[in-house]
Structure 1
């Protein structure tokens, strides 16, 4: 039982490191995109919250 528990703990640690790495990579990509093309990045940031379920995006289109 202790071996199974240790493997589960190790798997959760690996998963947490993968999630943290993806978050760091996403933030780096956002920073590089902002420096490269600020206009499209601003439009993307504006359009992302409206796609979550609110009807405010219909006025922008």
Structure 2
């Protein structure tokens, strides 16, 4: 992880959102242990979920 790629942005509802290389970060509730990526490739909550690598790029599903 490159700490320089971490940032915070304001969401449309006014809340702050952590980003990594410009991508909003979320915790997927279906992941219950470290290293799990059960949300990878799912299309839920209005967008496709994907894992980021350490360079902040989308990991292919």
- For Structure 1 versus Structure 2, the TM-score category normalised by the shorter chain is under 0.3
TM norm structure 2? 0.19
Q: Which has a greater percent of strand?
A: 2
TM norm structure 1? 0.19
**Bigger-Rg structure (1/2):** 1
Q: Which has a greater percent of helix?
A: 1
Higher relative contact order (CA 8 A, sep 6+): 2
